[in-house]
Amino acid sequence: MRKRKYTGLSKDEIYLISRAEFEKEELITTQFAQKLFSNSNKASKVISSLVRKRRIICLEKGKYLPIPLKAPNQQWFPNEFVVADLWMKQIPYYIGYFTMYNYWGLTEQIPQTVFVLNTKKSCKKIIGNVRYEAVKIDQKKYYGIEKIKIDQQEVCISDRERTLVDFIYNPIGSFENIETVLKDNIKKINLDKFIRYLGQFPVVSVRKRAGYLLEKLGCKTLFLSKLKKTIGNEQTYVVLDPTNRSRKGKVSKEWRIIVNR
């Protein structure tokens, strides 16, 4: 049988990628390469050469995504959600914010960045031709996660209700968008779960604003009473629209909100 030739790759480079494929390694790490080559300097040179030739993609130092040897013309890149999962690996994470706003139909705007909320690091980087932003969050905000399968791999995303909580906390555009999105999605969500997620969110101003807006939309008293209990005796008044510097407006004593518009 005629051996297949891989143009532009050395024997060592082919060996590294083929061993990773054979052992079903999702990533090539520095440690993996050093196990294959007795000389650590040689391992580093092979990795550097493969990065230059764009046959492996650097996710971060010491962690590389191999392009399959059989990929035609080296034109291959995995799903961006899968890349996010491989980038985080053992770090608790979920794909969220603007990426999920579009995914769940809260906005029609196409996100230019994949937002990866996680409990360890904050940074921005381009992997392949895709922009990624890691956003470090408090452990208390890590909940409401759903796993979906893409290309036989499970990735973590914020579920619909959790995404809506994030939208109230970190909306797109003007504050009026929150009201519009709530109104459009109130019948699409599990309201009990949404109220529970709001009560769990460790920013009381978000709970107050959400409560006020939900009451305006005619949300049932039973659900609202659960949310009010999470506010407790917190007496500070917050403005309804945080993008408006004015603190003038009608006051909602029930939700301790200044309706500044």
What's the pLDDT at 152?
84
The tokens describing 243, both together, are: 């993008």
Q: Does pLDDT of 54 surpass 90?
A: no
Assign residue 27 the CATH number of its domain: 1.10.10
Residue 65 and residue 33 share a domain: yes
- The CA-atom distances, in angstroms, between 62 and each of 10, 18, 21, 56, 243 are 21, 18, 18, 12, 42
Residue 253 and residue 168 share a domain: yes
216, part of any domain: yes
Residue 205 and residue 224 share a domain: yes
- 113-148, pLDDT tens digit by residue? 999 999 999 999 999 889 999 999 999 999 999 999
pTM: 0.87
2, part of any domain: no
Residue with tokens 């939208």: 167
Residue 132 and residue 106 share a domain: yes
Residue 254 and residue 169 share a domain: yes
Length of the chain: 261
Q: Does pLDDT of 208 surpass 50?
A: yes
Q: Does pLDDT of 2 surpass 80?
A: no
The domain tally of the chain equals 3
Q: Side chain identity at 137, as an amino acid letter? A: I
Identify the domain boundary among 139, 158, 177. 158
Q: Which residue range(s) make up the domain with 232?
A: 163-259
User: Which residue(s) pair with 150 in the sheet?
Assistant: 153
What's the pLDDT at 130?
92
